[in-house]
């Protein structure tokens, strides 16, 4: 009787091991995909109005093109905040290295503008809602190394489901 119980436990242990191994492989696949291929970003706050709502939009961000240097003006990107390194922010690229960017210094209080040339290895990012955005106007050009991904598809809310195109910078 004890040999039969041992065989039953061996079968159960093998099934449990095979199931655990399958779950471990799936988790590894998800980790690699989220870290190196694409991720789902939860977006909230007023800085990207009207492109994203104040509360709870979801979008997909791919993590390959910025490593290949395929980020340009008009793209929406995920960036590690230069002032709060634990925070990831969503902004629109206004200029890449070598571009001349003219921006309103303090849009709530004046129309005074400044013009800068984006330094090598940096990008200039701004929120679509310049009145409620902390962006390159506050902390300067952002190092290319702080880029985390490029947004490409809005998935929530369902009425806005679809690709995120580049906004024309002249409009």
CA distance linking residue 85 with residue 33, whole number of Å: 23
| Closest to 93 (Cα-Cα) out of 72, 111, 107, 112 | 72
Angle subtended at Cα 46 by Cα 40 and Cα 52, rounded to the nearest 5 degrees: 45
Please count the residues of the chain.
171
CB 131 within 8 A of CB 105: no
| Strands 142-143, 122-126: pairing kind | antiparallel
Give catalytic status of residue 91 as yes or no: yes
Residue 132 is encoded by which pair of tokens? Answer: 């409620």
Catalytic residue among 63, 91, 150, 154: 91
Catalytic residue among 47, 63, 133, 136: 47
Catalytic annotation, residues: 47, 91
């Amino acid at each position: 009787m004890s040999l039969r119980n041992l065989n039953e436990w061996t079968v159960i242990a093998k099934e449990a091991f095979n199931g655990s191994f399958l779950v471990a492989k799936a988790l590894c696949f998800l980790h690699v995909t989220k870290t190196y291929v694409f991720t789902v970003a939860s977006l909230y706050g007023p800085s990207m109005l009207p492109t994203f709502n104040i509360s709870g939009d979801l979008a997909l961000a791919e993590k390959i093109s910025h490593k290949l240097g395929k980020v340009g003006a008009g793209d929406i990107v995920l960036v590690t905040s230069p002032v709060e390194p634990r925070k990831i922010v969503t902004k629109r690229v206004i200029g890449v290295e070598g571009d001349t960017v003219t921006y309103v210094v303090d849009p709530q209080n004046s129309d005074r503008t400044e013009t800068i040339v984006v330094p090598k290895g940096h990008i200039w990012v701004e929120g679509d809602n310049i009145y409620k955005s902390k962006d390159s106007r506050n902390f300067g050009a952002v190092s290319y190394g702080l880029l985390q991904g490029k947004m490409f598809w809005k998935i929530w809310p369902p009425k806005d489901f679809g690709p995120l195109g580049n906004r024309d910078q002249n409009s």
